């Protein structure tokens, strides 16, 4: 039985409200909030980046798992905002965690689903007996051009998952991927901000991939939405996951616990994984979870996860929603621009 042994999360404490961004660009904040379903977002401080976010999330996962760090034999960091164009983030994480030097290591990129791709890699390696434990991380400090619609949602944060076969708190019953060459979102080397196909990012990209991956994994396992306690979908905004859940036949109750995007924004590679973490914070033995990520370019990874009895003795504090609501400091657009390096000398 291979699955999730532990998890940890990190969300920067700085937040900026939609009203603050809209004020600068002379836009209607209420219309934007209603349209996106996002009210505020997390912002990385000057000393926070994908590497530090990954380290903090992984440290929490390790402290909760109470396993020998020498047994970690794989570290994968999924992100589209790695600090270096040429220099792995995963080696920084491995060194900071203090694990030995004999481990598989790689940075992954697939827009917002690079973190779930890391979980699939670890799951395959554990299931084959190649390694005992692996860490998969999804973290981002996502970029958005000044005045671009992405400014209201592109956020910072991440989650780390330890995958193994001992003391599993949530078994991964099945996983699959649905992939096409769909250019809905991109950023070329050297460009500071990404470009996107606006409405093209919806039907041909997000909805096509999430629907196909979710439907196929349920079909091949003979399951329906009624067989799940929770569902988590990638959250580019607050409206898309609600809409895709309805299209698939899931209720609002099934997705509400994991719908963290409204108060922290889209943390890209960390988005669906932070949602899954929020669900695991309250899940009970026997609960089933459907997780489907999405990454532009484009693809979706889908998982069927079943919570085990081990969750009852697992340390789950501080919980994701506690971090979202209690640990926040609001900033203005000036400081936000400085921290996100939108002001360049």
Residue 19 contacts residue 149 (beta carbons within 8 Å): no
Residue among 118, 132, 98, 7 at smallest CA distance from 61: 7
Confidence of residue 1 (pLDDT cuts 50, 70, 90): confident
> In the numeric block, which tokens belong to residue 313?
């003795």
The Cα 203–Cα 247 span in angstroms is 12
Going by their DSSP bridges, the two strands 104-108 and 72-78 should be labelled as parallel
Over range 259-267, report the average pLDDT. 98
Confidence of residue 66 (pLDDT cuts 50, 70, 90): confident
Active site residues: 80, 112, 234
Predicted structure pTM score: 0.97
pLDDT tens digits, one per residue of 113-132: 999 999 999 999 999 999 99
Confidence of residue 183 (pLDDT cuts 50, 70, 90): confident
Query: What does the radius of gyration of the chain's CA atoms come to, in whole angstroms?
Result: 19
pLDDT tens digits, one per residue of 153-177: 999 999 999 999 999 999 999 999 9
Confidence of residue 200 (pLDDT cuts 50, 70, 90): low
Phi and psi angles of residue 334, each rounded to the nearest 5 degrees, phi first: -60, -50
């Amino acid at each position: 039985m291979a699955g999730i042994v532990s998890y940890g999360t990190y969300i920067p404490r700085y937040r900026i409200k939609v009203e603050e961004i809209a004020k600068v660009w002379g836009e209607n904040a209420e219309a934007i909030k209603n349209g996106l379903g996002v009210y505020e977002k997390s912002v990385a401080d000057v000393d926070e980046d994908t590497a530090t976010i990954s380290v903090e999330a992984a440290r929490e996962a390790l402290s909760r798992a109470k396993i020998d760090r020498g047994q970690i034999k794989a570290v994968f960091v999924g992100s589209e905002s790695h600090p270096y164009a040429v220099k792995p983030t995963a080696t920084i994480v491995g060194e900071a965690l203090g694990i030995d030097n004999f481990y598989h290591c790689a940075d992954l990129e697939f827009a917002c689903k690079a973190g779930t791709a890391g979980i699939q890699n670890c799951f395959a390696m554990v299931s084959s007996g190649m390694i005992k434990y692996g860490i998969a991380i999804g973290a981002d400090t996502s970029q958005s051009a000044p005045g671009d619609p992405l400014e209201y949602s592109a956020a910072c944060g991440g989650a780390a998952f330890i995958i193994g076969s001992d003391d599993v708190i949530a078994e991964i019953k099945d996983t699959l991927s649905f992939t096409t060459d769909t250019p809905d979102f991109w950023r070329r080397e050297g460009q500071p901000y990404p470009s996107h196909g606006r409405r093209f990012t919806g039907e041909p990209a997000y909805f096509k991939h999430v629907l196909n991956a979710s439907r196929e994994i349920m079909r091949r396992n003979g399951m329906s939405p009624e067989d799940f306690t929770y569902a988590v979908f990638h959250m580019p905004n607050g409206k898309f996951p609600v809409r895709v859940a309805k299209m698939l036949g899931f209720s609002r109750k099934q997705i509400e616990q994991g719908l963290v995007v409204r108060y922290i924004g889209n943390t890209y590679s960390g988005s669906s994984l932070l949602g899954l973490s929020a669900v695991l914070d309250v899940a009970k033995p026997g609960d089933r979870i459907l997780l489907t990520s999405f990454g532009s370019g484009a693809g979706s990874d889908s998982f069927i996860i079943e919570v085990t009895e081990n969750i009852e003795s697992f340390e789950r504090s501080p919980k994701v929603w506690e971090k979202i609501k209690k640990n926040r400091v609001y900033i203005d657009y000036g400081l936000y621009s400085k921290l996100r390096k939108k002001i360049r000398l």
